[in-house]
Amino acid sequence: MIERDLVIVGAGPAGMAAAISAYESGVRDILLLERDQYLGGILNQCIHTGFGLSYFKKNLTGPEYAHRFIEKIQAIDNIEVRLKSFAVKLTKEKELTFIKPGELKEIKAKALIMATGARERTREMIHIPGDRPSGIFSAGLAQKLINIEGLLPGEEVVIVGSGDIGLIMARRFILEGAKVKAVIEIQKQSRGLARNVVQCLEDFKIPFYLSHKVARIYGKKRVEKVDVVEVDEDLKAIQGSDFSLECDTILISAGLISENELLESAGIKAGNISIPGLFVCGNAYKIYDLADSVSRDALLAGKQAAEYLKGLG
Amino acid sequence: MNKDLICIECPRSCVLKVCIESCRVVKVEGEKCPKGKDYAVSEVENPRRIFTSTVSSRGLVLKMIPVRTDKPIPKDRVLEAAGEIRKIKLDRPVKVGEVITANLLGLGVNVIATRDCV
């Protein structure tokens, strides 16, 4: 089995920053694995601005933020980038299996950084009763369909939850000519940033229902309508406050969960890693509000991995 | 007249106390950086937004190329800008920062690519 000094899984804002930081801290053999065919991860579909304000002191879009890291990585010969490479198995000995088209590879990492990002909460996780028609998307999936694939998932949209991606997507649907009927948030306050409530909802007069929840989804083949109801302090439905909204599409924007399936499959707890030379950073470690914070977290991981490797001699 | 605005310049989302007299900002409080005051004046007197979207391509490696305006445009022209952008079919490779449409809607701003597509 081939042994590499440092292997990094994931080339989003965390993995790219970790790779650069590890190189700058002296690591000279770095393998960066990315399952997509491009570097950048989710940044590529985040076409809105708001990135880089703290890291670069500039207001950049996601792809522009990614571009700055990509240019740096491509200029460093010691970082080997492998695209379309999907890590499928990990052991406690830091042996990693990944697949790429036509190939299955096994490598042993002296140091390993997991920068696998996050997944979105689904309808099932927030328990919305009713039918199970087509037309229900997570906000990030809708973002990918529109911004990467050029496909508009629907015409009349209700957004469940007020996470930042949901707010951003409310505006995005409007700009693509769709209607956004409402954003429904069960809590008293927006889950996403206030600036996104202003520039994504208020700018386009999109109705924003706080302390409300979707009580039921209706639809035979495609989503047809939802029932919405106001909730009290204990998040219980208030009798008689319900109303219906017709729509063909529902977006779920109810937050992110760290993606740590590989660690778990190896019997490693993501919150308490006691394996020397194994590091977790970015959204895989904890959910950050900003990509800038993800990258800063990853700089530390890169540096620590470098220190660990120096210690091995 | 006093008005509360939420600054959208950065994620801190400062609440600005803005004092307005005959459509002009005369006083701003609550900002944690100099951008807050500029935002308040602009938002009251001439609200503007950086516009971002995608353009579709023909025969390029990316189906969609993300774009932005190089300067903010008037808020009330954003929907019109979106309609204009949807008409574009890009058929030449572009680099980050390259102009895709010059002088969008006669507003004196350019639409630029935010991702390499070569």
A103 and A148 together in one domain: no
* In the predicted structure, residue B18 carries a pLDDT above the cut 80: yes
* In the predicted structure, residue B90 carries a pLDDT above the cut 80: yes
Question: CB-CB: which of A62, A64, A193 is closest to B13?
Answer: A193
Contact B54 A203 (CB under 8 A): no
pLDDT tens for A8-62 read 999 999 999 999 999 999 999 999 999 999 999 999 999 999 999 999 999 999 9
* In the predicted structure, residue A271 carries a pLDDT above the cut 80: no
Chain A interface residues (partner B, CB cutoff 8 A): 44, 47-50, 53, 59, 61-64, 66-67, 146-150, 174-177, 193-195, 197-199, 203, 289-290
* In the predicted structure, residue B10 carries a pLDDT above the cut 90: no
* In the predicted structure, residue A313 carries a pLDDT above the cut 80: no
A161 and A179 together in one domain: yes
State the Cα–Cα distance between residues A278 and A305, nearest whole angstrom.
8
Contact A147 B116 (CB under 8 A): no
**pLDDT given for residue B11 in this prediction:** 86
- Shortest CA distance from A65: residue in chain B: B114
Q: Which residues of A68-100 are buried (b: 16+ CB within 10 A; e: fewer)?
A: bbbebbeeeeebebeeebebeebeeebbbebee
Taking the CA of residue B21 and the nearest CA in chain A, the distance in Å comes to 23
Please state the domain count of chain A: 2
Question: Which of residues A252, A279, A295 is at a domain's end?
Answer: A252
Taking the CA of residue B61 and the nearest CA in chain A, the distance in Å comes to 11
- CA torsion sign for B99, B104, B110, B111 is negative
Contact B52 A49 (CB under 8 A): yes
Ordered domains of chain B (ranges, CATH): 2-46 (no CATH), 52-113 (3.10.530.10)
**pLDDT given for residue A269 in this prediction:** 83
* In the predicted structure, residue B38 carries a pLDDT above the cut 90: yes
A6 and A112 together in one domain: yes
A240 and A193 together in one domain: yes
Q: Which domain holds residue A308?
A: 2-117+259-312
- Shortest CA distance from A148: residue in chain B: B64
Question: Which of residues A252, A270, A298 is at a domain's end?
Answer: A252
Question: Which of residues A233, A252, A271 is at a domain's end?
Answer: A252
Contact B82 A49 (CB under 8 A): no
pTM of the model: 0.95
Q: Average pLDDT, stretch B88-117?
A: 97
Contact B13 A194 (CB under 8 A): yes
pLDDT tens for A218-264 read 999 999 999 999 999 999 999 999 999 999 999 999 999 999 999 99
Taking the CA of residue A206 and the nearest CA in chain B, the distance in Å comes to 14
Q: What is the DSSP-derived secondary structure letter of residue A172?
A: H
A107 and A138 together in one domain: no
A220 and A112 together in one domain: no
A104 and A129 together in one domain: no
- Shortest CA distance from A199: residue in chain B: B8
Contact B13 A147 (CB under 8 A): no
pLDDT > 70 in chain B, percent? 100
A31 and A91 together in one domain: yes
For residues B27 and B36, the answer to whether their CB atoms sit within 8 Å is no
Contact B82 A177 (CB under 8 A): yes
Residues of chain B found within 8 Å of residue A53, distances taken between Cβ atoms? 10-11
**pLDDT given for residue A81 in this prediction:** 98
pLDDT tens for A145-202 read 999 999 999 999 999 999 999 999 999 999 999 999 999 999 999 999 999 999 999 9
CATH code for position A207 = 3.50.50.60
Residues of chain B found within 8 Å of residue A61, distances taken between Cβ atoms? 52, 66, 68, 114
For residues A169 and A142, the answer to whether their CB atoms sit within 8 Å is yes
Tokens (6 digits) for B11: 């994620």
A104 and A206 together in one domain: no
pLDDT > 70 in chain A, percent? 100
Residues of chain A found within 8 Å of residue B75, distances taken between Cβ atoms? 203
* In the predicted structure, residue A272 carries a pLDDT above the cut 80: no
**pLDDT given for residue A40 in this prediction:** 98
For residues B28 and B18, the answer to whether their CB atoms sit within 8 Å is yes
Tokens (6 digits) for B114: 């935010």
Q: Average pLDDT, stretch A107-119?
A: 98
Instruction: Tell me what ipTM this predicted complex has.
Output: 0.94
* In the predicted structure, residue A270 carries a pLDDT above the cut 80: no
A111 and A126 together in one domain: no
**pLDDT given for residue A274 in this prediction:** 85
A265 and A166 together in one domain: no
**pLDDT given for residue B23 in this prediction:** 87
A236 and A297 together in one domain: no
**Which of A49, A144, A179, A292 should be substituted to probe chain B, the one whose Cβ sees the most B Cβ atoms within 10 Å?**
A49
